[in-house]
Amino acid sequence: MERLLKDKLPRHIAIIMDGNGRWARKRSFDRMRGHQEGIESAKEVVKCCRELGIEVLTLYAFSLENWSRPAIEIKALMELLKRYLRAELPELIKNGIRLNVMGDTHTLPEDVREMVSEAVRKTSENKGMILNIALSYSGRNEIVQAVREIGKDLKERKITLEQINEDTFAHYLFTAGLPDPDLLIRTSGEYRISNFLLWQIAYTEIYVTDVLWPDFRKDNLIQAILDFQKRERRFGLTHEQIEKA
């Protein structure tokens, strides 16, 4: 395999972890088996990103729309999340990883919300990679909430209309203070954004793989980064302008 260029690593990688159900169905397992195996993929990707020196890893774990799934599956997913946090919190602390959770967390069951808050608090002083987990998240809802907060601050005269620009708006998003993703990976071969980071991925490089999430491991991540490193990121400029820069 080709070698990664350390000076061209993405600062922020975001992943739409898709394909758990199909992985299980292909093997005649129940869906939860797919989710359980998907946790192993997440653990390996977190470890690999930390070792590479990636600054931020964002994982799309549970969307606001996912609450429409069968109650029994939602309950099992929440239990799986608690099990992951309980098992991985010591590793996060040991490896200096700071956990951040974004989304409408007030919709989470109380015991899950408390465990998430505790994990975020216990890792808040860590100075290494940021593991950003999207839980009960919706990109459109995030933007609507930002507009509401801006409207509130305008009404209370905390900001003026003239102060509102792209940088100001970004400050009101869940990802405030984080760099926008450089690389968005979607597994399972689906060519959809699925309401994920709609504002933040304006200039993000997108990599789609047919690999189902439970089969996604270190080699697949490396391949995605290698593909990213071959691309020319122009941010609206021409090739000639980039060459002169």
Q: What is the pLDDT along the chain (245 residues), one digit of tens a residue?
A: 578 999 999 999 999 999 999 999 999 999 999 999 999 999 999 999 999 999 999 999 999 999 999 999 999 999 999 999 999 999 999 999 999 999 999 999 999 999 999 999 999 999 999 999 999 999 999 999 999 999 999 999 999 999 999 999 999 999 999 999 999 999 999 999 999 999 999 999 999 999 999 999 999 999 999 999 999 877 776 666 566 66
Assigned domain for 164 exists: no
d(CA 237, CA 107): 42
Active site residue 165: no
The residue range of the domain holding 100 is 8-138+180-244
Assigned domain for 82 exists: yes
How high is the mean pLDDT of the chain? 95
Task: Indicate the number of domains in the chain.
Answer: 1
Contact 124, 149 (CB under 8 A): no
From 7, 18, 153, 195, the catalytic residue: 18
Assigned domain for 172 exists: no
Residue 91: give its domain's CATH number: 3.40.1180.10
- Cβ burial of 79 (10 Å; 0-12, 13-18, 19+) is middle
From 20, 66, 132, 180, the catalytic residue: 66
Assigned domain for 89 exists: yes
pTM of the complete model: 0.94
Assigned domain for 150 exists: no
**Nearest to residue 106, comparing CAs of 137, 81, 75?**
137
Assigned domain for 67 exists: yes
Assigned domain for 99 exists: yes
pLDDT digit string (tens) for 48-63? 999 999 999 999 999 9
Assigned domain for 162 exists: no
Active site residue 66: yes
Residue identified by tokens 């990802």 is 175
